[in-house]
């Protein structure tokens, strides 16, 4: 009898404890288990579309690798990856194909800012959430869910601060511009101009389309046209800086004859700092895979996600390059 009473008492305590542990709302009412209500998709359910814009730079290669690697690490069901070779029409076709396949989420790194309204409207009408990755778009924010990437305008401002420091008495510079119309190039160019000292003149600005190959003839043309008038170069990414350095070497220039401020912080950029060619490298981080996949799952589950998520970045200098180069992941 005493044993039975003990059992009943223990059961009663158990019920009380369970009740105490059930979450309550602010109003104090007990909540039921939230899992089913909030949507219970897991990474294993996810079909993610990543219509990559191209393979124009080491930055881009690292970005693609990050997405593929993390899709694997998180164990998503399927990654639909394509390479648009820097052509917007290819990216638009890839997005349309993903819509037709009924993917769960589209993560789009747009090659240029304009011209996305129609296809984003199609994705919205199909009920497919969209994450704009890396560069921005000019479309109305109601047409996509999140923008995840770098603050390109801030990167340009940082580059100008470095140029002001490197040319304290002013001078003449040329700009190797990224892809015309891309959020990365336009943002960097605007930020740079807004902070550059008045005593520094931009003699010329030409696109190298973010590639090494295109940067070489553009730099050769700069050198031919302005010869020894050029004190500095603002170069929108490390791949173009490496192309420019090749042209400078071929023309007989030595490291430091023309100061260079570049963007990205790739291993190639670090090597160029060690070799004395680049004096400051503004970071732009391509390793967005984990965030893309986590945000995609949150959107599948109908969770609230911030409309704009910007990466925290820094500026790298030659003094630290040798120590850091081996730890660079891209």
Q: Is 183 helix (H, G, I), strand (E, B) or coil?
A: helix
Nearer to ligand AHR, 177 or 222 (CB): 177
Nearest CA among 282, 88, 64 for reference residue 187: 282
Query: What are the C-alpha distances in Å from 330 to residues 63, 166, 261, 264?
Result: 9, 26, 19, 10
Asked if 158 is part of the footprint of ligand AHR (rule: CB under 6 A), the reply reads: no
Question: What span, in angstroms and rounded, lies between the C-alpha atoms of 296 and 44?
Answer: 12
Please pick, from the candidates 94, 263, 295, 298, the single residue that binds ligand AHR as defined by CB under 6 A. 263
Please pick, from the candidates 70, 104, 113, 134, the single residue that binds ligand AHR as defined by CB under 6 A. 134
Backbone torsions φ then ψ of 80, nearest 5 degrees: -100, 105
> Which residue(s) pair with 263 in the sheet?
282
Question: What span, in angstroms and rounded, lies between the C-alpha atoms of 12 and 35?
Answer: 27
Nearer to ligand AHR, 54 or 318 (CB): 54
Asked if 184 is part of the footprint of ligand AHR (rule: CB under 6 A), the reply reads: yes
Residues 218-247 that bind ligand AHR (CB under 6 A): 237, 239
**Closest CB 135 distance from ligand AHR, rounded Å:** 5
- Burial grade of 201 (CB within 10 A; 0-12, 13-18, 19 or more): middle
Query: What are the C-alpha distances in Å from 34 to residues 38, 104, 153?
Result: 6, 22, 41
Please pick, from the candidates 60, 147, 158, 212, the single residue that binds ligand AHR as defined by CB under 6 A. 60
**Closest CB 253 distance from ligand AHR, rounded Å:** 23
**Closest CB 57 distance from ligand AHR, rounded Å:** 4
Nearest CA among 273, 261, 256 for reference residue 328: 273
**Closest CB 178 distance from ligand AHR, rounded Å:** 6
Rounded to 5°, the CA angle 268-315-113 comes to 80
Asked if 267 is part of the footprint of ligand AHR (rule: CB under 6 A), the reply reads: no
How many residues line the site for ligand AHR (CB under 6 A)? 13
Nearer to ligand AHR, 91 or 237 (CB): 237
**Closest CB 262 distance from ligand AHR, rounded Å:** 9
The stretch near ligand AHR (CB under 6 A) out of 30-38, 53-61, 197-205, 219-227 is: 53-61
Query: Which stretches of the chain bind ligand AHR, using CB under 6 A?
Result: 56-57, 59-60, 134-135, 184, 210, 237, 239, 263-264, 284
């Amino acid at each position: 009898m005493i044993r039975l009473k003990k059992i009943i008492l223990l059961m009663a305590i158990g019920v009380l404890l369970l009740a105490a542990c059930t979450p309550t709302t602010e109003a104090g009412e007990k909540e039921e288990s939230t899992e089913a209500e909030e949507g219970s998709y897991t990474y294993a359910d996810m079909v993610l579309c990543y219509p990559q814009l191209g393979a124009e730079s080491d930055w881009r290669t690292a970005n693609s690798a990050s997405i593929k690697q993390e899709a694997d690490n998180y164990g998503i069901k399927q990654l639909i990856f394509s390479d648009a070779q820097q052509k917007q029409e290819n990216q638009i076709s890839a997005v349309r194909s993903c819509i037709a396949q009924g993917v769960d989420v589209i993560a789009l790194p747009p090659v240029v800012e304009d011209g996305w309204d129609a296809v984003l409207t199609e994705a919205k009408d199909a009920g497919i959430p969209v994450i704009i990755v890396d560069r921005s778009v000019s479309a109305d924010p109601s047409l996509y869910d999140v923008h995840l990437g770098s603050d390109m305008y801030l990167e340009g401002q940082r580059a100008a601060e470095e140029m002001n420091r490197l040319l304290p008495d002013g001078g003449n510079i040329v700009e190797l511009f990224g892809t015309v119309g891309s959020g990365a190039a336009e943002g960097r160019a605007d930020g740079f101009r807004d902070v550059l000292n008045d005593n520094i003149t931009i003699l010329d600005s030409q696109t190298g389309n973010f590639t090494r190959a295109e940067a070489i003839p553009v730099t050769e043309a700069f050198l031919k046209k302005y010869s020894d008038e050029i004190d500095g170069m603002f170069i929108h990414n490390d791949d173009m800086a490496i192309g420019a350095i090749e042209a400078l070497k071929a023309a007989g220039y030595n490291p430091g004859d023309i100061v260079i401020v570049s963007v990205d912080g790739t291993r190639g950029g670090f090597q160029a700092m060690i070799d004395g060619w680049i004096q400051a490298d503004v970071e732009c981080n391509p390793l967005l895979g984990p965030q893309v996949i986590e945000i995609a799952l949150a959107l599948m589950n109908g969770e609230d996600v911030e409309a704009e998520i910007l990466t925290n970045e820094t500026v790298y200098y030659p003094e630290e390059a040798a120590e850091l180069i081996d730890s660079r992941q891209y």
